[in-house]
Every structure is written in C-alpha cells, then in structure tokens.
Structure 1
Amino acid sequence: MATSSSSFRIGIVGYGHLGQHLVDRILGDGAGMGLTLAFVWNRNADKLKGLVPDDRILVDLSAFEARKCDLIVEVCHPQIVKDFGVQFLSRAHFLVGSPSALCDPNLNRELRRAAEQHGRTLYVPGGALWGGQDIQRLDHSGALQALFIRMSKHPSCFRLTGDALSGWTEGEGRRVLFGGSVAELCPLAPNNVNTMAAAAVAAGTLGFAGVRGEIVSDTALSDFHVVEVEVTGTNGFSVHTVRRNPAQLGAVTGSATYNSFWNSLMVCKGHGGRVYLC
C-alpha cells in the first residue's frame, strides 16, 4: 500500500464503533504496514480527547486539505458524503462508508464526475454483502436480471427516520418494516442499509431503483443480523445466500463487518478515476 520511503496517510471521518476500530488498527498496526493516521474528525471533538493523539484531532472538517491525505474514510453519516464528498475527491481517494448516500442520483453523478476529473477512486466497501464482486461480474457480462436483498435484525438495531418501528415489544416476533426499491429504502434507514447500497453499486445496470430490498424486524435475532441475497441471471441461473453476522443487541453494525471494512481499506491504494467496489 505504501513504499518504504513514504507513508500512506489516512484521514478518518467519524468516531463511532467502526471509526474507533479503524483508528486503533492504524495506530497499532499501521506503522508496520506503511500507514499513518493523518487526522480524525468527529462531530463531538471532545469525545476524541485522550483516545486520539492531540495533533491528529481535526476540529473543523473543512480544514481537511491541510492534512494532505492519500485516503479519506467516511464512517459516520450520509450527510457528510453529500456535504464533503466532492471536496474529498479533489484531494484524495475516498472510501465512502455510507454508500446509502449514493441513492441520490445527482450526488452519485457528481461524485463519479469528481473521481474522473481528479483521477481519484471512489471506493465502496462491500461490508456485510456476500458475493458483491460476483454480482458485479454478472452485471458487467449483461447476464444480471434481478437482485433482491433482505436484511433482518433485532428491532433495537434499526435506526429509522420514520415511525415504522413504533410500539415494538420484546417477543413480538417478526415484522416486515418495508419492502421496495433500494432507492426508497436508503432514506428510510440510511444507517442500516449500506449493504444494500453496495449491492446497488455492484449491480450497476439495475441501480438503486432496480435492486429490490426488504428490512425485517425480528425480536428472535438477539445475537445475529441476517442478510439474504437472491441473484437472478439469464437461462435459469440463480444464487441464494444467507449470511448470519454476529451482532450485539442495539448494534447497527455486525461484528464481522469490522474486519471486512479493514480489509476493504487495505485495497484502497488507487484504482484510477472511477468507482471501485472493495
């Protein structure tokens, strides 16, 4: 990822559970891998005190350019992608941890244009998506006909913008919260459906409007998130996968996704001015 004569500088935007994991890995393992932590930004900068070296804390995100990053990693909220994504790509490669933001077609076009213009790569991590690159290859071959994803979680693990979960009680069982296009789902559950958004990027010809998704609340899922993917191709081809991702009650992100995201970060060394699923 970096040469022996220079380090690969990474900025982390967001310091929730995933952001903390990445910062700890970079500070702990990074030196031996040629990685340097350029900055960490969090909406509440006080949260960083004592956990991140003072000289790596960035209080004003609009001042990120002074830190001269090779890669900027967003792991907080789609609004950051909307507000800063194009600026990030003007200065560095950009790993977007909230790809649900890409459901906005105008923003999607702007980010792709910025990546091409500046020769930077817009990276989209697979997260909890299993077989994303296989879906992408099928799509590129022209053989992808349909893609459906169902995400089932304990209700405490959902962060929804509406009231679809109002009044749930422990032990109520299974409730389908919403089914429709991923374009419709992303604004409803922007922090929960990034796996679906990654799938929509992989299935480029179908896109956010063409990939179908469903989110399910299930009080029996106290230890796992379940992600089901159904792929339909030509001539009767189909694949159905079920992934059980260990997760604690209330956790938006399953535990296996942390290592998946770290592995995605390891890929982000520059793949030209384009979107790259990693």
Structure 2
Amino acid sequence: MASDLKKQKIVRRVGIVGYGHLGQYLVNAVQESDQLELAFVWNRTAENMMGKVDDSLILQDLSKFEERKSDLIVEVAHPTITTQYGEAFLRVADYMIGSPTALANQEVENKLRAAAIHNGLYIPNGAFWGGNDIKKMADRGTLHALKVTMTKHPTCFKLNGELKEKNAKVKEGEIVTLYDGPVRDLCPLAPNNVNTMAAASIAAHNLGFDKVQGCLVADSRMTDWHIVEVEVTGPGDVATGHVFNVSTKRKNPSKLGVVTGNATYASFVSSMLGAKAMGPGVHLC
C-alpha cells in the first residue's frame, strides 16, 4: 500500500549525471523523496557506483539517456557535459546545470538558450545568495554593478593554468588574491570552483559574464569555512555617494580540501525540487 501511495505522488523522473560527493547526495535525496523517482545515474567511472546504485538505474552510455524517459536531468559532473549534451538534454527534458561555468563560453550559452524552447534550463542558486533579487534588478535595468568574492583555503581550489601555479605558492598564514576581474575569463581557470559566480552572471543578465566581477582569494587560515561575499550596486548619485548598495557575506562550513561547502548540498536538493513548472527559457532555482 505504501509503495502504491508513493507512486501516486511521483511527479518527476530525474536523471543524475555525475556521482561524486554531490551526485551521491542527490541520488539519496531522490530515492528518499515522495515527489521524485530516479530514472538513471551516470558517472564517468561506472565502477564507482557498483554496490551503491541498483544495476537497473546505472546508465553505462550517456548518449542513451533518452531511453530512460526523464522529466528532469541534473548535471553535477563537469562543464564539458553541458557542452556535449546540453542541447540534446533540453530536447526531451528540463535540464538543471550544476556546472554553469560552461555558459561562460558564449557559443555554448547561445546554443542552450536557443534549445530551451520546449523545456526549461535551470540554474541552481547553490552558494549564490540573493539571486532572485538581483535578477529582478537586472530585469528592470537598475543593476549597475555586481561583484562576487570567494575565499577558501588553497587546498579547496581545483584550478588550471596560471592560477594553479599561483595557488600552489601560497604559504602558511598568507592571504593571496588569485584573480580579480571579469567572470568570463575566470571560469575556464576555475571551472569547479566558481559556479557561484557563473550563476551570478546569469542572474545579472544585463551585465553578463563580461561585466560581473569575480574575485578569488586563497586564505591559508580558512580551515573551517568557505566564504562568499556579494556586493550589489544600483542607481543613485555617484557624485554624492548616495548609491543603492547591498552587501552579503555567506559563511559555509567546510572541511579542508573540499570544493563544495556543507550547506550547498541541501541548497542543491531544494533547487532540484524547484526545477519544474516554469516553462521554456532560463530560470534560477
């Protein structure tokens, strides 16, 4: 009887792409939910799922995702998934992109926006605080500037190129600004760390990836937290300094060497539950 009642309540079949720490958390959340049903789980290394996910739910070949009849596909693997499969996902299901740094590539963003004509492209807020309010300002054209600063222990960054080299040189007790500039240029250098900034760039659509500013700080004393600071600037009189401004500081408990802070896991579950019924187009969730 309980099983029959759960089937009556199921509203969404969800496919999870990625089975790292966050992917495992989401899979468990889906299986415990009376609103969701697991359609499939894919991971680059399928062996990591053996004994943890029922064999019938493991998708060995991601190109065959359509066979699983998902209502929502959730990516928590790597930005390249969106580049390779994003358009195809959107043809048959809503798509929640957990690595929105992929959209820093203008061509990829354009293609996905064009593909989101029958289903929704959902961007989870994750660690980004105040996203809906910022989007409202962008909609009205009253958002003049936005800066997001992320501070973490050096071991919590997974970086590429010059930033990787710079981060490796951070010494005990040091605080080093690794980057301070447009989010678009930062995303390829830190694709796993700055999804918060990418989400900010989507919310602040009148500024976009080129005008939203991102600042990445390595703090060797930051052993227990990830900190995200958001500074919003709106209309006013610059000459007098009477300008609309909102600043927030989010402290997320985290362990050394971990990319995603503790509170972000629950935020992703909320986003997954909310990624529905908004229709075609791009939506924050």
User: Residue 254 in 1 paired to residue 261 in 2?
Assistant: yes
SS in 1 for 2:147: strand
Match of 1:9? 13
Match of 2:240? none
Match of 1:19? 23
Alpha-carbon distance, 1:168 to partner: 3.0
8 Å CA contact 1:120, 1:270 repeated in 2: no
Identity %: 50
8 Å CA contact 1:12, 1:39 repeated in 2: yes
Alpha-carbon distance, 1:105 to partner: 0.9
After TM superposition, the structure 1 = structure 2 runs for residues 97-246 of structure 1, keeping only pairs within 5 Å, are 97-116=98-117, 119-166=118-165, 167-168=168-169, 171-235=172-236, 236-246=243-253
Alpha-carbon distance, 1:271 to partner: 1.1
SS in 2 for 1:130: coil
Match of 2:91? 90
Counterparts of 1:106 and 1:163, CA distance in 2: 24
8 Å CA contact 1:13, 1:75 repeated in 2: yes
Alpha-carbon distance, 1:268 to partner: 1.1
Alpha-carbon distance, 1:169 to partner: 5.3
SS in 1 for 2:27: helix
Match of 2:283? 276
Counterparts of 1:126 and 1:36, CA distance in 2: 23
Counterparts of 2:152 and 2:50, CA distance in 1: 33
Counterparts of 1:5 and 1:226, CA distance in 2: 38
CA-atom RMSD in angstroms: 1.4
Amino acid at match of 2:246: V
SS in 2 for 1:164: helix
Counterparts of 2:268 and 2:8, CA distance in 1: 24
Match of 2:49? 48
Dislocated runs of 4+, deviation >6 Å: none
Question: What TM-score results when the alignment is normalised by the length of structure 1?
Answer: 0.95
Aligned pair count? 272
SS in 2 for 1:187: coil
Counterparts of 1:89 and 1:220, CA distance in 2: 42
Deviations, residues 14-47 of structure 1 (Å, cap 9, x unaligned): 00110000001111x22xx231100000000000
Amino acid at match of 1:22: L
8 Å CA contact 1:165, 1:177 repeated in 2: no
Counterparts of 2:9 and 2:189, CA distance in 1: 46
Counterparts of 1:51 and 1:3, CA distance in 2: 23
Counterparts of 2:157 and 2:10, CA distance in 1: 42
Deviations, residues 189-230 of structure 1 (Å, cap 9, x unaligned): 000000000000000010000101110100110000110111
8 Å CA contact 1:126, 1:132 repeated in 2: yes
Question: What TM-score results when the alignment is normalised by the length of structure 2?
Answer: 0.93
5+ residue gaps in structure 2? 1-5, 237-242
5+ residue gaps in structure 1? none
Alpha-carbon distance, 1:165 to partner: 3.9
SS in 1 for 2:187: helix
Amino acid at match of 2:182: S
Alpha-carbon distance, 1:3 to partner: 8.8
